[in-house]
Each structure stands twice: as structure tokens, then as C-alpha cells.
Amino acid sequence: MKKKAVAILGILLAATAGVAAGSGAMSTAVTAAPRATTAEAAEDITEDTAKDTTEDTAKDTTDDTDSDDTEEDTEAVTAAALESGKSVISVTGSETVKVRPDRARVQFSIETQADTAKKAQSENDDEINDLVDTLEDLGVSDDDITTSNYSLYPKYDYSDGGDGTIVGYTLNCTLLVDDQDADGVSAIIAGCSDAGITSISGLEYYCDDDTDSYNDALKKAIADAQTKAEAVAEATDSKLGSIVSITETTDGNTSEPDTYYNFESEDAIAQSVTIFPDDVDVTAKVTVVYSVR
């Protein structure tokens, strides 16, 4: 998970407070402290706290951290505001938009058994090379093929008891085929039927560039947070002040169907494979801390 602490005041102004979140889970906290009762105190919030926090969060834009760090940063900002004698409202807004995936990745495995480790490796290498040739014939670039697993382990015979006797070796090699056209991956799966594969797994769809969709979700997430903050302020007979901080968190956006094919022979793979990918969820989440007047 990646977290980017950013000051997104321009986006907040563009997002209307009346926009309701389509799928945002509400998380709202009101933190009370001795309320500032003078115009000078309110001005301090706007000029000092918001300015300092905006500069700090903009500086941390490129940092990658996990969700715990995100919560710690938000708590630190809130604590700093409280130490200065100011009241704040902290709310979380989120929004998810559906996007049709345009790219896909999938894994092909070949398992080989032999009397010796060297023979298992040799036979497996031959079959993997045949698989690579097949993939390239199907239009897959060599740059999009990588080895994601390579495991060799002995087979034991325990019929005589004791610790068992090694009677052979099993080698499993898995190739990851990435960055393929979403509409063409089914043809790649079907086209590998004669390449000696023993299993297919990890079929995953994703978007090559979801920037526009994410920015749309981000604006709606901020509007969601604004709506929640206004509701909290109204319920507590308060008025929202300036934004103290905005913290953004994001997850990878992919669609992962539960897909696993295991084949006893090369004839077991259908020559025509029909796969219907689900839409990708592009989700934006923000935590916004407001001062209270």
C-alpha cells in the first residue's frame, strides 16, 4: 500500500460538498479541545497550522508507507492541533469507480519428474523452451516472460519405514506472462495447449493507466469527506474552519478472478477458452482534518 500525504486544496474547492460517496465507508472522529473564542485564535489556525501542515505534507508526497504510517501521520497532525489549544474534526472519505481492464497477466507451470535431479532439470528445460517458443509464436514478447517460480524437491518412498528413500525428483517451473491485451489473453491460454503445461494460475486483469479514473475517484472522496465534516460540525453546533491536513492512501487496483487450471495431459486443455474479466475497482481514500471555529 502506498500513502502520499498531500495538500489538495485546489481539488477540494472543485469538489462540491453535496456530492455523496457511492461506496465510501464512513469513519468520523470529533476531537474536542478548549475552543478558540477570539478572532486571533481562528486566524492562527488558518495562517499557522494550515500553512505549516501544507508545506510538510507536500514535502512528503513521494514517500511510500503503509496504512499504519498513514494513521500515525493523521494522529500526529491532530495531536499538534490539540497541543496548540485548537479543536479539530477528522473525517475519512472514499470513493470507488469501475473501470474496464485493458491488460492481463497469467502464469503457466510445467512439472517434470525424473529419477535424478539432473534429468528432471534437463527435461524441464526442454519443455520450458518449447513453451517460450509457443508464447512467442502467439505474439508474446520475450520481455513480457519471466520465471516466477523454480522449485526442485526429492520424492521419497516410505514403504520400508524410517526416514524414507529418495526414488526420484520433481521440478516445477512457472512462467509469468505479463502486460498482455485483456481481450487476447484467452487466445494465449488456448494456444499453449500443446506446450506441455501442467497448470495455469494467477490470471489477473488490470488497467495500464488509471490516472484519470483515480483522479475522478479522488475528487469524489474529498467531497465525501467534506460532506461528512459538515454533518459532524452541524451535529456538534460547530463551524468548519480551514483544512489542517489531507492524507491520501491508495491500494493497487486489479481484478483477480479465482482461476486455476490443472491438466493431466496436453489434450485436457480446450482449444477455445472463453473468459469474462470483471471490471477493475479504482478506489481513492483520504483523511481530512479540519479546524473548528
Each residue's pLDDT expressed in tens, for the chain with a length of 293 residues: 333 333 344 444 344 333 333 333 334 444 433 333 333 333 443 344 344 444 444 444 444 445 566 666 666 766 666 566 678 999 999 999 999 999 999 999 999 999 999 999 999 999 999 999 999 999 999 999 999 999 999 999 999 888 899 999 999 999 999 999 999 999 999 999 888 899 999 999 999 998 999 999 999 999 999 999 999 999 999 999 999 999 998 665 555 544 444 544 444 444 557 788 889 999 999 999 999 98
Q: With contact defined as beta carbons under 8 Å apart, do 106 and 179 qualify?
A: no
Q: With contact defined as beta carbons under 8 Å apart, do 209 and 245 qualify?
A: no
The shares of helix, strand and coil residues in the chain, as percent rounded to the nearest 5, are 35, 35, 30
Nearest C-alpha neighbor of 186 from the set 64, 276, 70, 62 = 276
Report strand pairing: 27-31 vs 145-157: unpaired
CATH number for 103-206 (one of 3.40.1710.10, 3.30.70.2970, 3.90.1640.20, 3.20.20.80): it is: 3.30.70.2970
Domain positions in the chain are 2-99+209-252+282-292, 103-206
Separation CA 165–CA 171 (nearest Å): 18
DSSP for residue 49: I
Q: With contact defined as beta carbons under 8 Å apart, do 152 and 121 qualify?
A: yes
Separation CA 159–CA 206 (nearest Å): 49
Nearest C-alpha neighbor of 127 from the set 150, 110, 108, 102 = 110
Integer CA distances (angstroms), 36 to 33, 54, 104, 232, 235, in order: 9, 21, 55, 18, 19
